[in-house]
Structure 1
Amino acid sequence: MSLQFINAEKRIHDTVIFSSFDLSITGGKIVAIYSSVNVREQLINLLLGKTILSHGELRMKENGKQQIGYFFLHDGLYERLSIEDMLKFTKRLYDSTMSVNDALVTVQLDAKRSVKTKNLSYSEKKRVQLACLLMQETSIYIFEEPDQNIDLESKRILLGIFQQLKQQNNSVFILTGNLESAITAADEVFRLDENGLHPIHTSSDAEVDASSESEESINTAESVLPVRFEKIPTKVNEKIVLFDPPEIDYVESNEGQSFLHIQGESFPSTSTLNDLEARLLPFGFFRCHRSYIVNLQKVREVITWTRNSYSLVLDNKDKSTIPLSKSKMVELKDMLGL
C-alpha cells in the first residue's frame, strides 16, 4: 500500500521538468508536493500512465493490483443525476461496500440527496466528488488542488476526511500550487521543480514549545556554543514553517507586520523588518527601502522612472517590482561597482 518514485526524472526535449528524486508515500501518511502547474500536470499524466519517466521508476501497486483513487480539479460528475443517484452509480461501478447514506453523512449532504448535481454550488459539487472517491475504497488517494475555490465548511470537511483516510492506514498524495494548503493538510510537504525535490520544514506550535523548554533546560545545565540558525520562521495556521533564506524573493513591512514573499505567496513573520535585515544580510539581502528587503540574487533589472524614483524588477514568475529609495540607489551602485 505505497506509492514510490525511484530516481524519477522528467524531461521534455531539452527542458528539465523535474530532476531526479526519490519519494515513498506509505500507508498512514499524508504527503503534499508543492509545484508549478507544469510539474503537477506531468505528475498526474505519469500516475495515469499517459506518459513515462525520462529516467527512473514509478511504483504504485499492491499485491499486483493497482488501487488508486483520483480527485481531479475538474469533478467529472453527471449533472442530470441527483446526488443520491450519482453515489448509487458509483457504488455499483466500484462494487463498493460503503453505503450511500454513510457517504452522504461524511460529506454532510444527506439533506440534499435528491438535488441534481447541476443545481449545486461549486463547493457542494466538490463534496459529491469527494463522496464518490470515498466509495471507491482504494488504498492510495491522489488529490489535485483539492481545496481550490471551495468554501470554509467544505475545506473543514475535506481536512477531516484526510485524517480519516490516514487513520485507516491509506496513503494520501496531494498535488497543489498553494503552499498554505499543502502545509495545512499534509504531514510532509515537498517542493518539486527543475532542481529536484526539497522538503519544506514545518512543526506544530506544541513541538516548538517543547523544543524551547528543552533548550532552556539544556542552557541552564551547561554552557553551550552559539549556533547559527539559518532558517526564517513563519506561521501558517497552527504550524511553524521554516524557509531557507535563498527561497525568499523579498520581505515587506505593512502596518507594522512583516511578510515574506516566496514564489508569489505571502507569509507573515513574527520578526520585525530590522531583525530580518540583520539575519538576512549574510545571505545577500539588501534593505532597498524603509519597508522592503530584497534578495539581490533575484534582482533582474534596476529601473529608473524619474530622477528620484527607482524600482527593482525580480526574476520570479510574477516579475515583482520593488521600490528602491534614492539613498539606497547610491548604496547599491557602490555595492555593484558602478
Structure 2
Amino acid sequence: MSLHFIKAEKRVLDSVIFPAFDLLVNPGKIAAVHSNVNIREQLIELLLGRTVLSNGEILIGGSSFSEKKLTIGFLFLQSGLYERLTVEEMLRFTQRLYHSDTSVDETIRAIQLEAMRKVKIKQLSFSERKRVQFGCVLLQDPDIFLLEEPDQNIDLESKRIFLSILQSLKKRGKTIFILTMNLESAITSADEVYRLDENGLHNVSIENPKEDIEETIAEPILIQPVRLEKIPTKVNDKIVLFDPLEIDYIESSDGQSFLHIKGESFPSVFTLNDLEERLSPFGFFRCHRSYIVNLQKVREIITWTRNSYSLILDDAPKSNVPLSKTKMATLRDRLGL
C-alpha cells in the first residue's frame, strides 16, 4: 500500500514548518526523510491524525488518509514498553491488543532474543529494548511502517538485525517510511533518501552501491559514535546503571553532578564535563555551565527576557532547565531552527 504526499505543506501561525512537497513511497520500497526535529515531529503528528496539513493531502493506497490511517505501524523514538513484563509477555500483550495472527515465536526469532524471552524489559540493554519495540510493530503487521530514528544509538548487532528485517519487509511488499536526523543512517537503511527543510524536499544522491554500504556497516565507528550503554550512579553504596535516554537532564551543584530521571535525583560518579563528553552522541546538550539536557525531552523553549531563556521538558514534573544566552544560537543550529 503506497504512501503519497501531494503538495503537502504545514504552517504553524506565521511560520512555515515545511513548504509544499510531493513524495510517493510505493510498496516494496524504503524511503527515508532527513530533517530537523520540528519537521519530523510534525510529520508524525500528521500521520497519527492529531493535526492536519495547511495545504495539500496525504493518500494511503490512493484513498484519503483519514480513512486508512490504521494501516500504519509506528516505531517511535521512545519505547512505550512495559518494564515489568518479560520480552515474551510484552509481545503477547501486543499480539492480543492488535488481534494479530503473526506468530510471537517467529517474531522473537526475527529480533533474535530467544535466549531472553523470559527476561523483564527493565533488565534489557537499550539496544535489546529497541529490538522488542520493533518486534511489537512487526506483530501489528501494518501495510506501512513509519520508523522514527529506528537505529539511533543501538549496538552493531542490533543494527544488523534491523537492516535484515527491513529487507525482509521490503520483499513482502511493505511500505517503509523512515524519519531521521542522521543522514548516514538514512543512506544505510533506505533505497531512496530525501532532505526536507525550509526550502522543500530534495533528493539525496546515494553514490555508494549496496556492497559498499554493507562494508560501511561493518565499521561501527563510522555508523554512530556509540561508546557506552549505561551511566553509573552511586546510591546507598550500590552502583545503579541507567540507560542514557532515560535521563531527563543533569545538574551540577557544589561540584557534584546529579542525574534527574522521572522526577528523582541521583548523584553521578562523573563530573559534568565527563558526562557532556560521554552523552553528546546520545543527543545531550550543554545548555548552561551547570546543566546538560536531553534534547529529546525538550518540549518548549521559553524566552523570559532578552537575556533569559528556559527549556521546559516533557517529563512528569515539567522540569524547567535554564538556557544560557551564549548557548541559544548553538541550540538553534542543533534543532535546525
TM-score range, shorter-chain basis?
0.5 to 0.7
1:185 equivalent to 2:189? Answer yes
Structure 1 contact 204–238 (Cα < 8 Å) conserved: no
For 1:77 and 1:138, the matched residues in 2 are separated by 19
2:82 is the alignment partner of 1:78: yes
Matched residue SS, 1:17: strand
Correspondence for 1:175 among 174, 179, 186: 179
**Mapped contact 1:205–1:238 kept (Cα < 8 A):** no
Read off the aligned partner of 1:11 and give its amino acid letter.
R
Q: 1:146 aligns with which of 147, 150, 164?
A: 150
Contact 1:180 1:236 in 2 (8 A): no
The yes-or-no answer on 1:133 pairing with 2:145 is: no
Deviation at 1:238, TM superposition (A): 5.5
Instruction: Describe the SS at the equivalent of 2:206.
Output: strand
Amino acid at match of 1:98: T
2:66 aligned with 1:60, yes or no? no
Aligned to 1:281: none
Stretches of structure 2 lacking an aligned partner (at least 5 in a row): 217-280, 282-328
Structure 1 residue aligned with 2:117, among 109, 113, 120?
Answer: 113
CA distance 1:81–1:27, change in 2 (3 Å) = same
Where do residues 268-287 of structure 1 align in structure 2 (5 Å cutoff)? none
Q: Which amino acid letter does the alignment assign opposite residue 13 of structure 1? A: L
Q: Which position in structure 2 is the counterpart of 1:317?
A: 333
SS at match of 1:203: coil
Equivalent AA in structure 1 for residue 120 of structure 2? K
CA distance in 2, matches of 1:205, 1:159: 15
Q: Residue 22 of structure 2 corresponds to which residue in structure 1? A: 22
Change (3 A) 1:7 1:120: same
**Aligned CA-pair RMSD:** 2.5
- The structural deviation recorded for 1:94 is 1.3
Change (3 A) 1:120 1:28: same
State the number of aligned residues: 219
Q: Report the equivalent of 1:45.
A: 45
Gaps of 5+ in 1: 208-234, 240-264, 266-312, 319-338
CA contact (8 A) 1:32 1:175 kept: yes
Amino acid across the alignment from 1:96 = S
Sort the Cα spacing of 1:131 and 1:62 in 2 relative to 1 into closer, same or farther, 3 A: farther
- Three-state SS of the structure 2 residue aligned to 1:198 is strand
Mapping of residues 225-240 of structure 1, within 5 Å = none
Does residue 1:33 correspond to 2:46, yes or no?
Answer: no
Distance 1:161 1:15, change over 3 A: same
Q: Deviations over 1:182-208 (max 9, x none)?
A: 00000000000111100001133489x
Secondary structure, counterpart of 2:100 in structure 1: coil
1:61/1:67 contact within 8 Å kept: no
Residues in 1 aligned to 2:105 and 2:203: alpha-carbon distance in whole angstroms: 39
More off after superposition, 89-98 vs 22-31: 89-98
Report the Cα distance in structure 1 between the residues aligned to 2:126 and 2:15, rounded to whole angstroms: 36
Q: Using the alignment, how far apart are the partners of 2:210 and 2:92 within structure 1?
A: 43
Distance 1:78 1:117 in 2: 7
Structure label with greater radius of gyration = 1
Shift of 1:61: 5.1
List 4+ stretches of structure 1 deviating above 6 A: none
In 1: Cα distance, 2:193 partner to 2:169 partner: 17
Q: Is contact 1:30-1:171 (8 Å) kept? A: yes
TM-score after normalising by structure 2: 0.61
Cα distance between partner residues in 2 of 1:105 and 1:238: 25
C-alpha distance 140-196 of structure 1, shift in aligned 2 (>3 A)? same
Alpha-carbon distance change, 237 to 105 in structure 1, aligned in 2, over 3 angstroms? closer
Q: Which letter does structure 2 place at the counterpart of 1:187?
A: D
- Is the partner of 1:317 in helix, strand or coil? helix
Aligned residue in 2 for 1:245: none
Q: Percent identity?
A: 56
CA distance in 1, matches of 2:121, 2:197: 37
> C-alpha displacement at 1:13, in angstroms?
1.3
Amino acid at match of 1:44: I
1:62–1:107 distance in 2 versus 1, CA, 3 Å: farther
- 1:220 aligns with none
Report the equivalent of 2:222.
Answer: none
* 8 Å contact from structure 1 (residues 159, 185) kept in 2: yes
Aligned-pair CA distance for 1:62: 7.1
Alpha-carbon distance between aligned partners in 1 of 2:149 and 2:121, rounded to the nearest angstrom = 20
